[in-house]
Amino acid sequence: MKVTGSHEPPYGKNIHQFASLRTISTSKTLILVTLTLIILTVVPLYYPLKRYPSTHAATGGDAAVVPPVYHPQDEVITINDNHHKCDVFSGEWIRNPDAPYYDNLTCWAIHEHQNCQKYGRPDSDFMKWRWKPDGCDLPIFNPYQFLEIVRDKSLAFVGDSVGRNQMQSLICMLSRVEYPIDRSATKDENFKHWYYVSYNFTLATYWSPFLVKAREASSDGPTHTGLFNLYLDEFDEKWTTQIDGFNYLIINAGHWFWRPALYYVNNQVVGCRFCQLENITDYPMTFGYKKAIRTAFNAINSRTNFKGVTILRTFAPMHFEGGEWNSGGNCVRKKPFKSNEITLEGINLELYMTQIEEFKRGERMGKNNGLKFRLLDTTQAMLLRPDGHPSRYGHWPNENVTLYNDCVHWCLPGPIDTWSDFLLHTLKMEGLRSAEERALLNG
């Protein structure tokens, strides 16, 4: 079965394991030291398995903390040697009757176009699944653990509207503990700073759907979704000059590269993507995509004062069936695929492999500068979730919207909440690596 959607929407595995994490062989003594360091530095706290009402009004404002529910089994963070060997991004979706852990009444951060409950989506089964990796387990997101890990730290999202979708999901998943206050320097919704008072944690978002310098040359263009000038070798300074103080940087890009664009290198047009202009070479979208990701990683590696961990969140495929986004395509399935029912192929596979290739290159460069690059590989998991998109439930039936059937973004609550499970796992593993490295340095 194929994933359709070869033309750009207006928004913006089974795959071989591509990058192995370098693991350090440790003795039993070192493992005990490592886990002790983690337990001392990352307080596990508690995790309320069931969703419960927030004590904070769902309209923003000052932070409020919901008293935790005590669960003795959560006293120890479960990180064992199996997690070094297990690819948590390869697996299947299994039932989770306890989900969801928030709704559109308890979380104010849900974007209108992803508020499927508000706009009358009649089914709820799409919210009741969790990701089960092959060969190990991925714990359900623990908001208390997450906020302890990021205490006195900062995290920024850089990319497009699916990246914003992820950030809003994270805010909702954390809302059982605390809501952030708005400390943005601008009223521009594309550049927000949220602050968690009790944890001294800053969460930010920077809008950069192409990751490089870009300008809209026409609001119409060949497909009526705009024509963009992409300066593939130039940094987008709206985000690249702002990242130095962040501990974690999550970048993403993908869907906007379907749009018509002129490609510039050294301020000269070198080609385009479906620009339909005479005497200009038309390249596949991976041409610009590859160069843009490379430039973004070059920008990060060029920042002498940036010492954070860069996380590339991989491409999440669309699920238009029966047509393209503008020709009747829709996503009406009611349950996940099994991994043997669908294969990543065509342009989606090309985009994914382009990301992996450039990630490896950026990671090699980063090591020379003492920087860390990690992969948040959501591609396979989300390929299996055609049921998780808003479709026509991101607006009222009579509204005049460009993307009437949205098979790009993800309902909140919904499958995208699992990205927080992946992110927490990634941060735990980062803490484990750091503890192991410290233990080795200390003999």
Of the CA atoms within 13 Å of residue 215, those in its CB half-sphere come to 6
Q: Which of 207, 361, 352 is nearest to 295 (CA)?
A: 361
285-302 and 346-368 helices, crossing angle to 10°: 20
Beta bridge partners of 263: 230, 271
182 is known as an active-site residue: no
160 is known as an active-site residue: no
Token readout for 247 is 């501990």
Choose, from 160, 236, 387, 406, the residue flagged as catalytic.
Answer: 406
- Nearby residues of 20 by Cβ (< 8 Å), 6 or more positions away: none
219, with CB counted inside 10 A (0-12, 13-18, 19+), is: exposed
Residue 385's φ and ψ, nearest 5 degrees, are -120, 60
54 is known as an active-site residue: no
Q: How many CB atoms lie within 10 A of CB 172?
A: 27
Choose, from 90, 161, 175, 339, the residue flagged as catalytic.
Answer: 161
Beta bridge partners of 133: 91
Q: What whole-number distance in Å separates Cα of residue 101 and Cα of residue 157?
A: 23
Determine the longest span between alpha carbons in the chain, in angstroms.
69
The H-assigned helical ranges of 52-124 are: 81-85
CB-based contact 246:154 (threshold 8 Å): yes
Choose, from 84, 113, 409, 425, the residue flagged as catalytic.
Answer: 409
Q: What whole-number distance in Å separates Cα of residue 25 and Cα of residue 384?
A: 35
Q: Which of 297-314 are b and which e, b meaning 16 or more Cβ less than 10 Å from the residue's Cβ?
A: bbbbbebeebebbbbbbb
Active site residues: 161, 406, 409
